[in-house]
A and B are shown apart, each in its own frame.
Chain A
Amino acid sequence: MHTQTLNAFQVIADPSRRYMMQLLSKESMTINALAENFDMSRPAVSKHVKIMYNAGFISITDIGRERHCTLKQDGFNELQDFINYFDKFWAGKLKKLETLLNNKAKSK
């Protein structure tokens, strides 16, 4: 199966994946147990799991024949980076506005 790599926001943009994370926030679950909560095929659930895994939102531990999914912080850290990006973006823009207004005041 082709493994998709999406950014953190694309990962949480999907309601099924958000629901999976919600379920996993209560307890770690096997892929089979996760699948029971969804009206979709097991491969479809696996695909979502893979996407969340690739983006660092969950870790997968093999226990016996079962694959256990557990929430992981890395994906959430990437979301934080996004907020930091906006923080820098606005700081830069406001600095520019300040320069503009100062120059305007001087030229008066």
Chain B
Amino acid sequence: MQREVKHTWFFNQSLQEVWEYLTKPELLEQWLMKSNFEPVAGRKFQFINKDKIDAYCQVLEVIPPSLLSYSWRKGISENEITVDSVVTWTLIDKNGGTELKLVHNGFQLLDDAIKHEKGWDYCMNRMMELINTSTNAHTNA
């Protein structure tokens, strides 16, 4: 099961230019969403979509102009988060252009849930056993 989202894009623009599009709210709004983002580690902010809070976030790491990460939490309210994840941007200089890497992972509950995946083979075997047992039980009844 896939547990993270990864994308790599190349831009002709410099690191600095791409960095601005990742960190300036007025530029972020043009391609992502409205926000009260500030590139300061520890700062809490929200992404707003159609006047509604889309994601509750907190800046985790800022190394201009090459690394930015923030938590990305979604839910009905900040007290009822159902998706708790992390978005990380990495910018690498490629001959004056920028290779931009996005990793969206750390889906916490998902990671917890996926631990159970290992149990599936066992469960499948167990289910077959049970089905066979119940068939026998019916035959015997």
Closest to B116 in A: A25
Where chain A touches its partner, the secondary structure class is: helix
The answer to whether A101 and B11 have CB atoms under 8 Å apart is: yes
Interface hits, A32-88 → B, CB 8 Å: 59, 61-64, 68, 70-71, 73, 76, 79-80, 82-84, 86-87
Category for how many chain B residues contact A: 35 or more
Q: Is B17 an interface residue (CB 8 A)?
A: yes
Q: B67: shortest Cβ distance to chain A, in Å?
A: 17
Stretch at the interface among B38-46, B56-64, B118-126: B118-126
The answer on a CB contact under 8 Å between B1 and A98 is no
**Residue interface mask A9-20, B partner, CB < 8 A = 1:** 110110000100
User: In the complex, which residues of chain A have a beta carbon less than 8 angstroms from the beta carbon of B7?
Assistant: 87, 90-91, 94
Query: Is A1's beta carbon under 8 Å from chain B?
Result: no
Count residues of chain A with CB under 8 A from any CB of chain B: 41
The residue of chain B having its C-beta at the shortest distance from the C-beta of A71 within the complex is B123
Query: With contacts A9-B109, A10-B82, A83-B4 known, is A100 near B21, CB below 8 A?
Result: yes
A61 touching B134, Cβ below 8 Å: yes
**A83: which B residues are within 8 A, CB to CB?**
2-5, 107, 110
| Given known A22-B116, A63-B134, A101-B18, contact A86–B5 (CB-CB < 8 A) | yes
What is the interface of chain A, defined by CB distance below 8 A to chain B? Answer: 7, 9-10, 12-13, 18, 21-22, 24-28, 59, 61-64, 68, 70-71, 73, 76, 79-80, 82-84, 86-87, 90-91, 93-94, 96-98, 100-101, 104-105
Ordered by A's residue number, 12 sampled pairs between the chains whose C-beta atoms are within 8 Å are: A9-B83, A13-B82, A63-B130, A70-B130, A76-B113, A76-B117, A79-B110, A94-B7, A94-B100, A98-B9, A98-B11, A101-B12
